[in-house]
Chain A
Amino acid sequence: MEAKTLFDKIWDSHVVKEVEGGPSVIYIDRHFIHEVTSPVAFLGLEKRGAKVLRPEKTVATPDHNVPTIDQHLSIKDELSRNQVEMLKKNCAKHGIVYHGLGTEGHGVVHIIGPEMGITQPGMTIVCGDSHTSTHGAFGAIAFGIGTSEVEMVLASQCIMQPKPKKMLISVNGKLNKGVTAKDIALYVIAQISTSGGTGHFVEFAGSAIESLTMEGRMTLCNMSIECGARGGMIAPDQTTFDYVKGREFAPKGEAWDKTLAYWKTLKSDADAVFDTVYEFDAANIEPMITFGTNPGMGIGISKNVPTSAGLIGNDKLTYEKSLKYMGYTEGDKMVGKQIDYVFVGSCTNGRIEDFRAFAQFVKGKKKADNVTAWIVPGSRAVEKQIIAEGLVEILNEAGFELRQPGCSACLAMNDDKIPEGKYSVSTSNRNFEGRQGPGARTLLASPLTAAAAAVTGKITDPREFL
């Protein structure tokens, strides 16, 4: 039999039909929707007079737009409120489960899926949001889609997609002190660039990847989209099975045993062929930080801003434009630069382990006076856990306040906007111009590096404190 990759195995078992000279029709097991990319899809559906084919396979939550304080009050911004209400209405009309603001199941869509055990190995999962790649951490094919495709899934539980190429990224060896999954992600993107993965679906493997917790794997797969890939995935193993077992929507009893046996087959065959292969040594990775305006512009925190030497034409212009936006000069030392804001949260680093790491770091220290910090849990469940573990007290004592769940300053669609020209050390995933508010300057980093910046008020190597 032909050797197959993990991706092939799942993809091939979900092909409903191959269209001649065209994309494949792929069956979708789970569909997540949120308030921003779904309203036009529902409108389209209604215009066609079509119904939602399998409402039980779609789960909804409002996350992009919601305020992160006073969630019990009605949303002040009229447009945001309208979008959130529209989602609720559409769900009620079409029989879709809706986890509203303030309810137990609320949170960023990519955080609640795994939390509830909805995300499982071997599935095909889509959402009108590029960071759907997060769910690939479980050995699922998960990727972001546009609104037309949201409509397709609602109407037919299928989408049409050309089969992507396959890429293997192995990271082997032991991770250095202070290096997290986020640093692996930023390192890999810096190495292969923001377009290095275009046209591909990535499988991450190697001993450094296997050593990651489920949450770390989610952080890594979340960021896989930032190298241009359709998504990233990691073969499920004992860490995965232990995480899923017992969650609300996980198979139970006999069904568990049967499903587990299948999940154990989900790995790339030893002689499977990938179109592109990269290998990295974990020993070369240090805590990372970005200095420019795309996630590929990251460097080890001890390094200086690279020079544009060797760049020509548009490459050089683009590089200079980026540094100008950031207010940085070639050759600048990153460590010691003043910052203004710290954001901990998002579907990249908004899970309990991220807040544990942050709280542990700031314990007994004080937030720097020049820093405004937004600590935003990824979901209600994470918020409750933070409280249950007594992390709130640690945070409060150090001068930090906990906000309520949502996407928040990751994309600044709500009120959590970084003011123009200000520097924000952020655990989110994108540092594009204006991503965190018009004129905002974003420095992507791990929760540890964010914590070090929060207590010193400047870019600081977290290893100094470890």
Chain B
Amino acid sequence: MAYDKFTTLTSSAVPLPIENIDTDQIIPARFLKAVERKGFGDNLFRDWRYDKSNQPIADFPLNQAKYSGEILVGGKNFGSGSSREHAAWAIYDYGFRVVVSSFFADIFQGNALNNGILPVVVSPEFLEKIFAAIGADNNAQFEVDLQNQKFTIKATGESADFTINPYKKHCLTHGLDDIDYLISMKEEIAAFEK
């Protein structure tokens, strides 16, 4: 699936200091009935964002005007549960390009990377610092530098290095996906089958 290239991003961030945020929360199953990849952002965190009568729940961070930005910061073990790629689509569609946590579930991490979202893993201590920075200033700016694999809290200048597979980094930087690459391997695959 085509997505925009990613190089660096400077943005404020939305905090979600909850652990084990599973994909059923990111996008509840009843919203998986589409046959196209459209409009998933509206249902991102649906049951945390809206009450039964579809009224926004005031204290949920996505509903608070003071929080904004293209970076989502979540508690540890983000994205556990179902393999639904709709979770990544919903996050991208809503407008996030980076998700930061101290720990990601495997399938979610892969799905994010396949959809132009950069998952940034930082230490639990650094994660606390990010939450603290947002707490001190809701508009605190963060810089995500993919080339140098660095995440910086602009206000304090503190930064953390993050790792990313070099191949995936290349894909993200150039907006490429695996599928074209695999299709180009046709002959090698045919040879393997023998």
Contacts and interface: CB of A to CB of B under 8 A. Distances in A.
Interface of A: 16-17, 19-23, 25, 27, 36-37, 39-40, 43-44, 48, 50, 53, 64-65, 77, 79-80, 82-83, 86, 128-130, 144-149, 151-152, 155-162, 164, 194-195, 198-199, 228, 230, 294, 313-315, 317-318, 321, 411-413, 420, 430, 432-435, 438-439
Given A230-B106, A433-B25, 5 more contacts: A39-B34, A149-B110, A158-B189, A314-B17, A432-B25
Interface in B145-194: 165-168, 177-183, 185-186, 188-189, 192-193
Contacts of A432: 22, 24-25, 81
B179 A438 contact: no
A53 B192 CA distance: 14
Contacts, number: 192
Interface in B1-56: 1, 17-20, 22, 24-25, 28-30, 32-37, 47, 52
Contact of B165 (A23, A64, A321, A420): A23
B76 interface: yes
A130 B165 contact: no
A147 B107 CA distance: 11
B92 interface: no
11 contacts: A36-B33, A37-B85, A43-B36, A82-B33, A128-B85, A148-B178, A195-B20, A195-B76, A318-B19, A413-B33, A432-B25
Interface string B93-132: 0000000000111110011001100000000000010000
A313 B186 CA distance: 51
Given A146-B107, A147-B85, A412 B29 contact: yes
Given A22-B167, A22-B168, A157-B189, A434 B28 contact: yes
Given A149-B114, A195-B77, A86 B20 contact: no
Contact of A228 (B32, B77, B168, B178): B77
**Contact residues on B (Cβ < 8 Å of other chain), bracket:** 35 or more
Contact of B35 (A86, A149, A411): A86
Contacts of B139: none
Contacts of B128: 313
A438 B81 CA distance: 17
A151 B115 CA distance: 13
Nearest to A50: B183
A329 to B, nearest CB: 21
Contacts of B85: 37, 40, 128, 146-148
Interface of B: 1, 17-20, 22, 24-25, 28-30, 32-37, 47, 52, 75-77, 80-86, 88, 103-107, 110-111, 114-115, 128, 165-168, 177-183, 185-186, 188-189, 192-193
A435 B36 contact: no
B166 A21 contact: yes
Contact of A19 (B107, B115, B167): B167
A155 B115 contact: no
A37 B24 contact: no
A285 to B, nearest CB: 23
Nearest to A54: B193
A48 B180 contact: yes
A36 B32 contact: yes
Given A195-B77, A432-B25, A314 B107 contact: no
A369 to B, nearest CB: 28
Contact of A194 (B20, B28, B182): B20
A247 B93 CA distance: 45
Contact of A199 (B19, B106, B192): B106
Given A21-B165, A158-B189, A318-B75, A152 B83 contact: no
Contacts of A21: 165-167
A444 to B, nearest CB: 13
A125 to B, nearest CB: 14
B186 to A, nearest CB: 7
Contacts of B80: 194-195, 228, 294
